Amino acid sequence: MRFHSLPESKRYAEDESEYAVVLERYNTVLHELFAGGDVYVIAPVWTNEAEVSPPQSDVGYWQTLLMTDDPDPEFRTYCHLFAARRPWRYGCLDELLRDVADDKVAGVLITDTQMRRVYHPYDGGADVFLATPGERDQARDRHTDWLSSHPLGL
């Protein structure tokens, strides 16, 4: 399911009042999904190097995926995944979420520790993957004003 982060599907915040709306929408859904539990925050680093340093000191290396297996090592692409486990608190990821909203950071995933619910914020909104159709429908019904008016929900 896809939620837009600003009214009328506006993609980028232009002032602090719009950033407040973006963060409130991100945090509201995240809190509904993860209140009282821990989350994994997963961030990718894309490179043509087989090894890379973590993007921040408080995240740990998880795994590396070879994305293009070109015979020439110069043209290989790797996706290095870094993860941190954190207790979820409303607002605890605001700095990261603001960077995502500004398209400074991309590909972030936030998930419960069993990886049954996945929250993928991006500039303009968030995709949410839930464990059951019933959970999806409840989340959709709580936030109908945040859904796209496009027939496919995009």
- Quick check: is 116 in a domain? yes
Q: How confident is the model at residue 33 (pLDDT cuts 50, 70, 90)?
A: very high
- Quick check: is 152 in a domain? no
- Quick check: is 151 in a domain? no
Q: What is the pLDDT of residues 65-120, one digit of tens each?
A: 998 888 888 888 999 999 999 999 999 999 999 999 999 999 999 999 999 999 99
Q: Of all residues in the chain, what percent carry a pLDDT higher than 90?
A: 75
- Quick check: is 24 in a domain? yes
Contacts of 85 (CB under 8 A, 6+ apart): 38, 39, 40, 113
- Quick check: is 153 in a domain? no
Q: How far is it, in rounded angstroms, from Cα 20 to Cα 46?
A: 30
What is the structure's pLDDT at 148? 80
Domain count for the chain, please give it: 1
- 42: containing domain: 2-145
- Quick check: is 81 in a domain? yes
Report the pLDDT averaged over residues 11-21: 96
